Amino acid sequence: MRISIIGAGIAGLSAAAYLSYAGHEVTIFEKNATPGGRARQWVTKEGYVFDMGPSWYWMPDVFDNFFADFGYKTSDFYQLVRLDPAFTVTFGKGRQYDIPSGFDSLKSLFDQIEPGAGSKLEAFMKGARFKYEKGMQELVYKPGISLREYADPALLKGIMQLQVFSSFHTHVRKYFSDPRLINLMEFPVLFLGAMPKETPALYSLMNYAGLLLGTWYPKGGFGMVVDALVSVCEAQGVQFRFNAPVERILAENGLVTGLLVEDSVIASDAVIAAADYHHVETKLLDPAWRNYDLPYWKSRVMAPSALIFYVGTTKRFPALKHHTLFFDEDFGKHALEIYKQPSWPSRPLFYVCCPSRTDPGVAPPGHENLFLLMPLAPGLLDEEGTRETYYHIMMDRLEEHLGEKVRPHVDYKKSYCVSDFQTDYNAFKGNAYGLANTLRQTALFKPKIRNRHLPNLFYAGQLTVPGPGVPPALISGKIAAGQVHSFFSKACV
C-alpha cells in the first residue's frame, strides 16, 4: 500500500520505519530541508554542531527497543556516554550540587541536604520504578482510543499504585520538605509539562528515568539519533521528500485519497500526519473532517515554549558541567508566569547545556558549545530586544556561577523563540513540547491518534499519545503504524 507521512520528526521517522518494514511503500514529506524536526541539528560554518532541541537522553531502553525491532543495537549507530554527574543544580553562589549517577551517592547527597531524605528517596523510587515499569511497558503503547484498553485486571489492580488521580505536588511533599529537594524532583514535570499541582503523581516515573536509569549523551549529539532513524528508514526503503510542505489532505467518499504537495497530488492509501496536530487539523483538513474544533484547541493547556540561545565561545570553561540547572530564583513564581499568568518571567529559572565538555567534537578545537534554555509561556511576543534582555539576565548568572566572563569570548550566537517554533514547525502558539501533562490531557484524554471521519487518516507525534519527549515520540510512531496496519487488515477481511 502507498502510505504518505507528513513530517520527518522523530514520530514520523519511527512510523515510516515500521510501515516500510511491514512491506508498504512509504514516503515522508517534510517542509524543512533536513530531518529531525525539533530534534534537528544546526551546523555552523565556524564548526559548531548545535542540537536545536533535545539534550537529555533519558529512557535508553526505549531507543534500544526501537532499534531491536529492526534487528539492530543502539551501538550500531552511536556511542552512549553516561553522564556523571548526571547534572548540576545551582541554588545560588556557593550552593550548588552535582547530582551523582550512582544511587548510593545520590542518597548520601539527599541525607546531606535533609537528614533522613536518603531512605525516603529509596521509598519514593520504589513506587516510581513500579510506575515506570507498568507505564513504559504497558500504558504508553496503548492507542488511547477506548476505555476497554485499560480493562485488564492486572492493570486495574495496579492502578492505585500508578497514582493517576493524585497530584505530583502533594506526592513529592509526602517524602521531602527541603525546598531544594522538592525543586530537584519537580523540575522534569515543570520544564516538560505543567504545574506540579496539576500533574498526576504517575509522572514520578520521570524521576526514576532521570535519576536511576541515568542521564546519557549520544556522542556527536542528538543529531546522531536522527541520523540513526534515517538510516533505519532508508534500509527499509522509505523515500524522503525535503522542502516539501504538505498543503492539503485530500479526501473523497469518506476516505483520504492523497496529499497536495507543491501543487502535485500524491495518491495515498493511508496518511499519517506526524506534524503538529493543531496545524494538521486547522490548516490541512476541511472543517467537516476535523476531530476537534477551535474552542477545543483554545481550551487546551499547552506545555511551555522556550527562549534558546545557541552560543559558541573561543574559550573553554572547565568549571562548567554538561548540564546545569539554574534554580537560584523562585520556582513557583516562574511556573505561574508560564502557566497561569502568561508573561515574560520576572526572575526566570533556566538551563545551560555544554555538550563540548563531554564531546569536544561539537565545537572547533579550544572552543565551547553552549545552549541556554529558558522555559516560557507559549504564544508570547518575542521581539529581538526582549530576547536580548534575557540573554544578559542568563549570562549574568552564568558568569557569576563560573566566576569568570563568558560574553567577551562569544564568537557565535543565535536565538530561537516562540515565533521560530511557529515558522519552522507550524507549532501551535509556538509550543516547544506539545500539550501539558495534566490529568485531563493524559492517555485517553489526549487528541486521538485516529481521525473520526476518515478511517485511513492517523496522527503521530508529541500532541497525541503518549506525549512529549523523544522516547514518547518514537513510541507514538510505532502506535500509529500499528493502527494503519489494523486498518488494512480489517479492509482485507
Ligand X SMILES: Cc1cc2nc3c(=O)[nH]c(=O)nc-3n(C[C@H](O)[C@H](O)[C@H](O)COP(=O)(O)OP(=O)(O)OC[C@H]3O[C@@H](n4cnc5c(N)ncnc54)[C@H](O)[C@@H]3O)c2cc1C
Q: Which residues bind ligand X (CB under 6 A)?
A: 6-12, 29-32, 37-39, 53-56, 245-246, 274-275, 279, 306, 308, 373, 425-426, 432-433, 461-462, 468-471, 473
Pairing, β 264-267 against β 255-261: antiparallel
Q: CB-wise, 117 or 184, nearer to ligand X?
A: 184
**Chain Cα centroid distance, residue 440:** 19
Shortest distance, position 190 Cβ to ligand X, whole Å: 13
Q: CB-wise, 36 or 364, nearer to ligand X?
A: 36
Contact 82, 214 (CB under 8 A): yes
For residues 431 and 378, give the distance between their C-alpha atoms in angstroms, rounded to a whole number: 5
Shortest distance, position 246 Cβ to ligand X, whole Å: 4
The residues that bridge with 200 in the sheet, in sequence order, are: 167
What would the grid cell of residue 466 be? Answer: 503518549
Shortest distance, position 183 Cβ to ligand X, whole Å: 18
Residue in this structure with the C-alpha cell 507514538, named with its chain if needed: 476
Q: CB-wise, 117 or 226, nearer to ligand X?
A: 226
Q: In angstroms, what is the C-alpha Rg of the chain?
A: 22
What would the grid cell of residue 102 be? Answer: 550512582
Residues 6+ apart with CB under 8 A from 342: 377, 378, 379, 380
Shortest distance, position 155 Cβ to ligand X, whole Å: 25
Shortest distance, position 160 Cβ to ligand X, whole Å: 28
Give the nearest residue (CB) to ligand X: 9
Q: CB-wise, 117 or 228, nearer to ligand X?
A: 228
Shortest distance, position 55 Cβ to ligand X, whole Å: 5
Shortest distance, position 428 Cβ to ligand X, whole Å: 11
Q: CB-wise, 33 or 151, nearer to ligand X?
A: 33
Q: CB-wise, 274 or 363, nearer to ligand X?
A: 274
Angle formed at CA 59 by CA 427 and CA 161, multiple of 5 degrees: 100
Q: CB-wise, 118 or 193, nearer to ligand X?
A: 193
Q: CB-wise, 109 or 261, nearer to ligand X?
A: 261
Shortest distance, position 426 Cβ to ligand X, whole Å: 4
Shortest distance, position 14 Cβ to ligand X, whole Å: 8
Q: CB-wise, 58 or 176, nearer to ligand X?
A: 58
Q: CB-wise, 7 or 118, nearer to ligand X?
A: 7
Shortest distance, position 425 Cβ to ligand X, whole Å: 4
Residues 6+ apart with CB under 8 A from 42: 48, 49, 50, 52, 310, 414
